[in-house]
Amino acid sequence: DVKVTQSSRYLVKRTGEKVFLECVQDMDHENMFWYRQDPGLGLRLIYFSYDVKMKEKGDIPEGYSVSREKKERFSLILESASTNQTSMYLCASSLLRDTEAFFGQGTRLTVV
Amino acid sequence: KQEVTQIPAALSVPEGENLVLNCSFTDSAIYNLQWFRQDPGKGLTSLLLIQSSQREQTSGRLNASLDKSSGRSTLYIAASQPGDSATYLCAVGNTDKLIFGTGTRLQVFP
């Protein structure tokens, strides 16, 4: 079974802090994604990556950056956390562009 | 711009009923359509993937159909159980990403 693991289930951070959310997949997938999920807005794509050291902006990249130094690991970085970044963050991976996507368990981030 | 809609937003049924969840999308140029389940506070679990060239997929009590020309997919759940209670999300694979509907929250009561 494909496993996508996010480093934390819950995080509480202060406004202005730099925050790192880590995601690791164990199936040698090419593609990795970061989404955030908010009530009434659904899942929105922040960033995605098709290969090591490659990244593409999604629909809402402002205030975020990403890093993919190794194929299995995709990190989401909040450069200076703000309260409007309080959300559920979901990482996903897929082998190719048109294959099944698998999600991690989610990280509930609260910025105070 | 691709838009994905799920109807109904919420559904409550007694155990044992067969039910249908609906998903519609505006742009038929999709790679695939995927159905997910999400339990409260958890991540998404993949249920079924239908490629654009396929008409349906089945897994156990679940059957998903795809009609690209009309921009519709349905998820059929047979003999529902309380353990099926969750939010069900559909997502269309479109160019570089998955575009999600806002989900149907299903409650199956004993």
pLDDT band at B94 (very low <50, low <70, confident <90, very high): confident
Is residue B109 within 8 Å of residue B92, measured between CB atoms?
A: no
pLDDT band at A2 (very low <50, low <70, confident <90, very high): low
pLDDT band at A93 (very low <50, low <70, confident <90, very high): very high
The pLDDT, as a whole number, for residue B1 is 86
Is residue B95 within 8 Å of residue B32, measured between CB atoms?
A: no
For chain A, list the strands marked E by DSSP.
Answer: 4-6, 10-13, 19-25, 31-38, 42-49, 56-57, 64-70, 73-78, 87-94, 101-103, 107-111
pLDDT band at B76 (very low <50, low <70, confident <90, very high): very high
Report yes or no: A43 at the B interface, CB cutoff 8 Å: yes
Q: Would you say residue B87 has pLDDT above 90? A: yes
Q: Would you say residue B67 has pLDDT above 70? A: yes
Nearest CA to CA, how far is B80 from chain A (Å)?
24
Q: Match 């703000």 to its residue by tokens.
A: A82
